[in-house]
A and B are shown apart, each in its own frame.
Chain A
Amino acid sequence: MKLNEEQLIYLKRLIEPARIQTGKEIGEDYSHDELGGITAYPDVLIKVISTEEVSKIMTYAYKQDIPVVVRGAGTGLVGAAVAVCGGIMIETTLMNHVLELDEENLTVTVEPGVLLMELAQFAEEHSFLYPPDPGEKSATIGGNISTNAGGMRAVKYGVTRDYVRGLTVVLPNGKVEKFGGKIVKNSSGYSLKDLIVGSEGTLGIITEAILKLVPLPNKSVSLLVPYEKIEDAIETVPKIIKLKTTPTAIEFMERNVLLFAEEFLGRKFPDTKSEAYLLLTFDGSSSVQVESEYETVAQYCLEHGARDVFIVDTPERRDAVWSARGAFLEAIKASTTEMDECDVVVPRNCVAEFILFTHSLSKKFNIRIPSFGHAGDGNLHIYICRDRLAEQEWKCTLSEVFAEMYEKALKLGGAVSGEHGVGYAKKKYLRKQVGDEQIRLMREIKRVFDPKGLLNPQKVI
């Protein structure tokens, strides 16, 4: 919808000129995210600086029936932060302050625009760890909470939801509510805080978050384990978990993706002689503890088909290995003309079967499908590359490949999205996964929060 002159004048009176843009002043960046395949401009872009301001905007928008969408750093992959109905876009990147570190309660209170890398660094400087570690470090924490982002350390530490203690939320009617708090336990009624986490900006606008921290582990060692075949690598993972050790991360990577990363970064990976690799990390309070844990796993891997086990134990080595891992998404993107992604999650002992299935799809449809992912938690990142396909053919193939992949994931007991969310792009697959009754429940919840359906319309459900 288009805002009328009177509405624009009202908003411009509310917000200082440097932080509000309208119409053609709005940059192209604000019309899309990193991948979602959907483009739409908001009518007004407001860079907010406080909860009160968000509340005022929301109160007005709700009275005036103006759609509102919240955007962080725009690093989403499913179009969740695209203003598909126009209206107001609230951008949070100026709300980027760490408000409080409470060392007695082990919490940090932040504004939603703080970037993940800034939060990670802040925590580390104070000898704490904020465990969630999604690949996209320049995402905002508000975005991370909204998608319940996971990341590489989920095997041991869990996902973003496990670290959200409290939220300040502006509801669609403009009221400001605090959910949760610095408390560790809470059995007091429905957990509205947990409903907001992962709701992709459809239920309320997060303007402050109290996050849980853990003491920073003193020692961290990774193992890079080469295998002849990808199935050998991935089939080892559930067995490693069965050994009752607790790696922080278990990632799998294939040689072809490593080569893209080498080209993208312009530097060589320490080893590319094998077809497939597992990358495991162990952390703990002392070298002795970490060593005894990784040796059990290293020994097991060597006895069960690994070609070797390489030790990644210094900052230089970690950088050489993990910088490649961190660049996979961008590297695959750079290797093709266009791509779309599938972020399914399956039970951990089904990862190998699913990856082999994507290999068979790649042959069947004659299309490149590189992948990597969190073998330790069953969350895969699978990329379908357009390469030289013509527009129509690309769209057809993509939709067929997607349909088969999601069907397979469901058969294995999996879910549509492990950490990127549903947003705009994956709505129809969510419906298939959860069925009509659950969609009805979700819609009813949405209606209670947002009876007019103005906050991030047409997303998720």
Chain B
Amino acid sequence: MKILVCIKQVPGTTSVEIDPETGVLKRDGVESKMNPFDLYAVEQALILQEKYGGNVDVITMGPAQAKAVLEEAIYMGADRGILISDRKFAGADVVATSYTLSQGIKKAGQYDLILCGKQTTDGDTAQVGPETAEFLDMEHVTNVKEISAVEGYEVLVTENQENCFRKIRLKTPCLLTIEKDVNSPRLPSYKRKTEMKNPDIVELSLSDFEDVNEENYGLLGSPTQVERIFPPEKNESRQLFEGPGRELGDRIFEILKLKKFVV
């Protein structure tokens, strides 16, 4: 079984400050780490590998220093890393990021299973996984808490829908985003680090892709234009509604309509 895990490098602390003058994230001196949600996906891949054999590759998109998270995943047990890096990818929104990843994945090889963390701690959209799958024309399920069976070209997964679990059988290749806390991610091994002097990491840039049209990547390829980033005002007041999902949906819709957030 060939598995690919999509991972991301994120700031090492949760309290990232925004420069009020420029609206840019203060990254100076901030250490980075692997997105904590991705650890569960890497662990899930390694568990499947132990059970069914095959390879586990990890892929990330980011600047040159993002290589560190690939190395970290390799020290956890992954076989190979793929770094997608190009200045032309800078400023990508969710759509452009997902498209770039899908291009990189096509180039990286054929996989039976692509796993992602359910979201990142910096972007928090939880959309890159499913959108990448759409660009790859692949079936996908989010918030997967269990992969209970892998049989031939099919996998049986349990999706966490907050108020219920749904069992879904889907065809490979497919993409799954893994729920948090579903396993105990193993720790990176210093022994593996010293044994593998030069971990196997492939670098891909725009010129390696099938689609080399610059307009589809980075800021140019992003339908979302960020006008300004600012720290949110802190507001402690809240109203709590309880009840079945449909009723709550209607209620929220009414409130949003009343406040003219939707028409």
Residues of A within 8 A of B (CB): 223-224, 267-271, 287, 295, 298-299, 302, 308-317, 320-321
Contacts and interface: CB of A to CB of B under 8 A. Distances in A.
Given A311-B188, A315-B13, 13 more contacts: A271-B186, A302-B190, A309-B191, A310-B188, A310-B189, A310-B190, A311-B75, A312-B187, A313-B33, A314-B12, A316-B36, A316-B39, A321-B187
10 contacts: A224-B187, A267-B184, A270-B184, A270-B185, A302-B190, A302-B191, A309-B189, A311-B187, A314-B33, A317-B187
Interface residues of B, number: 21
A259 to B, nearest CB: 13
Contact of B190 (A269, A270, A271, A298): A298
A223 B181 CA distance: 22
B194 A302 contact: yes
Contacts of A287: 31
Given A298-B190, A310-B189, A320 B184 contact: yes
Contacts of A312: 187
A311 B190 contact: yes
Centre residue among A268, A269, A298, A316 by max chain B CB count within 10 A:
A316
B194 A299 contact: yes
A442 B151 CA distance: 74
Centre residue among A295, A308, A310, A313 by max chain B CB count within 10 A:
A310
B190 A309 contact: yes
A447 B5 CA distance: 71
B184 A308 contact: no
Q: Is the interface of A mostly helix, strand, loop or mixed?
A: mixed
A295 B191 CA distance: 11
A286 B111 CA distance: 40
A223 B191 CA distance: 12
A409 to B, nearest CB: 34
B183 A310 contact: no
B28 to A, nearest CB: 14
Nearest to B12: A314
A270 B191 contact: no
Nearest to B33: A314
A1 to B, nearest CB: 52
Interface of B: 12-13, 31, 33-34, 36, 39, 75, 181, 183-194
Given A267-B184, A270-B185, A270-B186, A308 B191 contact: yes
A292 to B, nearest CB: 13
A51 to B, nearest CB: 36
A439 B148 CA distance: 66
Nearest to B36: A316
A268 B183 CA distance: 8
Centre residue among B12, B39, B75, B191 by max chain A CB count within 10 A:
B191
Contacts of B190: 223, 295, 298, 302, 308-311
B9 to A, nearest CB: 12
A68 B104 CA distance: 74
Contacts of A308: 189-192
Nearest to B14: A315
Contacts of B12: 314
A314 B36 CA distance: 9
A50 B243 CA distance: 49
Nearest to B188: A311
A265 to B, nearest CB: 11
A302 B195 CA distance: 11
A294 B75 CA distance: 17
Nearest to B184: A268
A271 B194 contact: no
B181 to A, nearest CB: 8
B36 A271 contact: no
Contacts of A313: 33, 188
A313 B76 CA distance: 13
Nearest to A298: B190
A87 to B, nearest CB: 46
A315 B12 CA distance: 8
Contacts of A299: 194
A308 B191 CA distance: 6
Nearest to A319: B36
Contacts of A309: 189-191
Centre residue among A268, A309, A312 by max chain B CB count within 10 A:
A309
The list of the 4 closest CB pairs from A to B, nearest first, reads A310-B187, A268-B184, A309-B190, A308-B191
Contacts of A298: 190
A312 to B, nearest CB: 6
